[in-house]
Each structure stands twice: as structure tokens, then as C-alpha cells.
Amino acid sequence: MNDWRKSLEQLQIGNERFAASRMKHSRQDAERREELLEGQAPFAVVLACSDSRVTPEILFDQGLGDIFVIRVAGNIIDDVVIASIEYAAAHLATPLIVVLGHSSCGAITATAAGGDPGGHLPSLTRALAPAVEAVRHLDGDLVNNAAQANARRIAAELGSTEPVLAGKVGEGSLKILGAYYDLESGRVSFLDED
């Protein structure tokens, strides 16, 4: 499957099943494990937060081998995360990358609170600070607004990452979208989709 629109539709349909508590839990059996011994061909990459409430395989009701998942607090990127995404885009021909932010994000909450969170956490809060500052003036919930802004910002950064991702976006073989998961409703909304 090379068309990102088909991949997006699969994620949307799976999320509708999840939000309605009608999950299929398909492609999670011994037969599927056997199929995957020969390799993988995920139809989407999901860069998600490490938050234990945000598990992409469950939120999108997908099975083994269906989505290539990378999880890091605040769904931020560094060279290792970018390399992982490039692997899926270049070597697995995955046509869609989704950067998934979520409501009530603890990493963004800590960033918005300011101060020194201690340990290595300042490296995380520094990475998230641009998203928080970009929406501080907006009405509504600061953390949730920042989570959406961060997903959009990371998606844009990935789209301009040379040479692999920007090249694939430019040739039309890859789409990168921000998305936002609402913990209460269970629904994922895709931000700025064409």
C-alpha cells in the first residue's frame, strides 16, 4: 500500500472502533506472527508520547506489523528518532507518518509550569518550550493547545529533514501529519490534513 490516504483511512476507521469500544483486535494471533517472520510492511509510522495511556496499536485497533511505532515523552525528535522514522520511510516504504500528541500531557504540563524539574528532565522541557510559548496567548487549555501545536511543529520539522524525509515528501511518496488524541473521548483528530 503506497497511498497515504488509504493508510490514514485505516487509522481513522480503527480509531472509530476503539472510541466506540468495538475493537476487532485482529492480526494478533499465531498465524499473523508466522506471516511476519519474513519481514514487515507497516502502512504507517506513529511517533507518539511515552504516556502509558497513549498506545497507538490500541488507539488505532491495529495488529502486529501494521504500524511502526516510536514512543518518546512529548513525541519530540532527535537524531535517533529521525533515523528510526527514516528507516520506515526509506526501507519499508511506509507512506504515512503521524505525530501523535495527546490531552493532559505530563511532559507539556511540566514545561508549562516552568522551573527546574530536576535530573535530565530539562532536556525534555527545553524541547517542548517552543510549543508552549507559541500558544500561551490563546484561549483554552494551555497544555492541550500546546500538545496540538507541538504535534504540528514536529510534523513540519520532520517534513523538512534532509535528505530522506524531505525528499520523499517532495516526490509525493510520503505524507506527514500531526494528530491529537483526546483521553476522555478516545478519539484521534488529524491536524491540517489535505
Distance of alpha carbon 160 from alpha carbon 97, whole angstroms: 13
- Looking at residue 125, what is its pLDDT? 94
> Which residue do the cell numbers 520511510 mark?
89
pLDDT one-digit tens code per residue, 10-69: 999 999 999 999 999 889 999 999 999 999 999 999 999 999 999 999 999 999 999 999
What is the reported pLDDT for 25?
87
Specify the pLDDT at position 194.
56
Answer yes or no: are the C-beta atoms of 107 and 49 closer than 8 Å: yes
In this prediction, residue 167 has a pLDDT band, given cuts at 50, 70 and 90, of very high
For the segment 145-162, the average pLDDT, to the nearest whole number, is 97
CB 44 within 8 A of CB 97: yes
Cell numbers given for 111: 514545561
Can you give the pTM of this predicted structure?
0.95
Q: Which backbone phi and psi does 99 adopt, to 5 degrees?
A: -100, 110
Query: What ranges do the domains of the chain cover?
Result: 4-191
Residue 1 has pLDDT above 50, yes or no: no
User: What does the pLDDT average to over 162-172?
Assistant: 96
**pLDDT tens digits, residue range 84-142?**
999 999 999 999 999 999 999 999 999 999 988 889 999 999 999 999 999 999 999 99
Give the per-residue pLDDT at 2. Answer: 57
| CATH top class, domain 4-191 | alpha beta
* pLDDT for residue 193: 64
| pLDDT at 171 exceeding the cut of 50 | yes
Cβ(96)–Cβ(45) below 8 Å: yes
Q: Which residues contact 80 (CB under 8 A, 6 or more apart)?
A: none
Return all residues near 50 (Cβ < 8 A) that are at least 6 apart: 71, 72, 73
